Amino acid sequence: MIDFSFTENHQAVRDMARELARKVIIPSIKDYDRANKINPELLPAMKKANLLGFCIPEKYGGLGMDYISLGLACEELEYGDTSARVVLSVHIGLYSLPVLTWADEEQKEKYLIPVATGEKIGAFGLTEPGAGSDVVGLQSTAVKDGDYYILNGEKMWISLADTADYHLAFAWTDLEKKKKRDHSGLSAFIVEKAYEGVTVGPIHGKLGVRAGDTGWISYQDVRVPKENLVYKEGQGFKIAMFCLDQGRYTVAAGSCGLIKACRDACVKYSFERKTFTRNIAEHQLVKQMIANMEAGYEYSTALWLKAGWLKNQGIRSTRATSLAKWIACREAEEAAANAVQVFGAYGFSDEYPVERFYRNAKGASIYEGTREIHTLMQADYALRLRKDTPLERDLPEVEQ
């Protein structure tokens, strides 16, 4: 039986993340968004609050919190700004949880503990200039050479590219399978940014998430120790899909924070702004837009909570996570568009936050699987053309 009630630990996580958003993110987000720079106080504040590893087991330097806690933190951080939630999505969802699940003990000792404690930052290197949803379109290769793999390739649209110390990177280790587009030739590696041949750079001119670190990574004849192969050769596609399950979950929860931010901004403004001698809160079409935000928030929250509950039970959540991500992002985009409409001309200016919400919301319908990908996934589930089979490895069950 699914229980959606929050424990004391859940409420403590929510309060802590909400306080961080209120004190660190919101007061300065307009300036950093305009400057296209990450707030230098953000990561130290998240480290101090133990957010960077709080759902990683204590034996690996984390706090051992459950996956509902992760979702609550993502929601509250995105209430402040999407760029803050992206840190948890990438550092925990796309790097730490996959390393926890798929890496061996020596790798966890070296590459998970420092990340869980916040001493190091992790990133996820899958997308390339010519390959996003089409994962087998990757061009990166890792050719075995004695005790090393020689890694070559380009990664694009990588969150925390410049900030991260470690990348969970994907490349072809079987070049014959690459020619055949057989995903069993893909493998995953932990790559240190400090390795010779690794260069990174920023991406400028983004529509949204401007206060975040988004960039590119180039691997040129990088010698990656064979000990940094995650799990075994040919398992990269499975690991990548597992990573996306965790990332999509955090995006879904975060999108609810954005919906809530849109709703709260509109509620406040609707009692301040008058047209035709009345507060716009009295106009029926304004009420309708706010009501839609409220409804979108409620059912999107229910969807990500269901996915989080499945994760807590150690049950595969690919279908539930895909649905939660698709619907929450759709509702966030609609809520942000309506928020701009409620604010009128002021919504078209960064004097108020809703134009930033609008820009940020658009990205979530693209990354971690486009809305079209998730639409097709859900159709195939309903048509019984798609069925999830048990994974070789999945998230460890946790106590709430």
Express each pLDDT in 119-178 by its tens digit.
999 999 999 999 988 999 999 999 999 999 999 999 999 999 999 999 999 999 999 999
Q: How many CB atoms lie within 10 A of CB 173?
A: 22
Sign of CA dihedral 263, 268, 271, 275: negative
Give the confidence band of 1 by pLDDT, cuts at 50, 70, 90. Answer: low
Q: What is the DSSP string of 21-75?
A: IIIIITTTHHHHHHHT---TTHHHHHHHTTGGGTTS-GGGTS----HHHHHHHHH
**pLDDT of 4:** 73
For domain 8-116, the CATH architecture is Orthogonal Bundle (1.10)
Q: Is 352 exposed, middle or buried (0-12, 13-18, 19+ CB in 10 A)?
A: middle
* Active-site annotation holder among 78, 233, 333, 368: 368
**pLDDT of 270:** 97
Report helix angle 354-364 to 318-343, nearest 10.
Answer: 150
Q: What is the DSSP string of 112-171?
A: THHHHTTSS-EEEE--BTTBSS-GGG---EEEEETTEEEEEEEEEEEETTTT-SEEEEEE
Every domain of the chain and the residues it spans = 8-116, 122-235, 238-382
**pLDDT of 389:** 83
* Residue 294 is a catalytic residue: no
- How would you label 289-302 residue by residue, b for 16+ Cβ within 10 Å and e otherwise? bbebbeebbeebbe
Could you report the per-residue pLDDT of 390-400, keeping only the tens digit for each? Answer: 888 888 877 65
Could you report the per-residue pLDDT of 162-173, keeping only the tens digit for each? Answer: 999 999 999 999
For domain 238-382, the CATH architecture is Up-down Bundle (1.20)
Could you report the per-residue pLDDT of 196-225, keeping only the tens digit for each? Answer: 999 999 999 999 999 999 999 999 999 999
**pLDDT of 394:** 82
Give the confidence band of 109 by pLDDT, cuts at 50, 70, 90. Answer: very high
Give the confidence band of 284 by pLDDT, cuts at 50, 70, 90. Answer: very high
* pLDDT mean over 29-49: 96
For residues 256 and 240, the answer to whether their CB atoms sit within 8 Å is no
Residue 229 has pLDDT above 90, yes or no: yes
**pLDDT of 3:** 72
Phi and psi torsions of 225, nearest 5°: -55, 145
Amino acid (one-letter) located at 154: E
The alpha helices in 159-217, defined as continuous H runs, are 175-179
Q: Which of 65, 25, 31, 60 is nearest to 43 (CA)?
A: 25
Could you report the per-residue pLDDT of 44-94, keeping only the tens digit for each? Answer: 999 999 999 989 999 999 999 999 999 999 999 999 999 999 999 999 999
Gap between the Cα atoms of 124 and 70, Å rounded? 18
Domain 122-235, CATH among 2.40.110.10, 2.30.30.30, 2.30.30.60, 2.40.37.10: 2.40.110.10
Q: How many CB atoms lie within 10 A of CB 35?
A: 12
Q: Is 383 exposed, middle or buried (0-12, 13-18, 19+ CB in 10 A)?
A: exposed
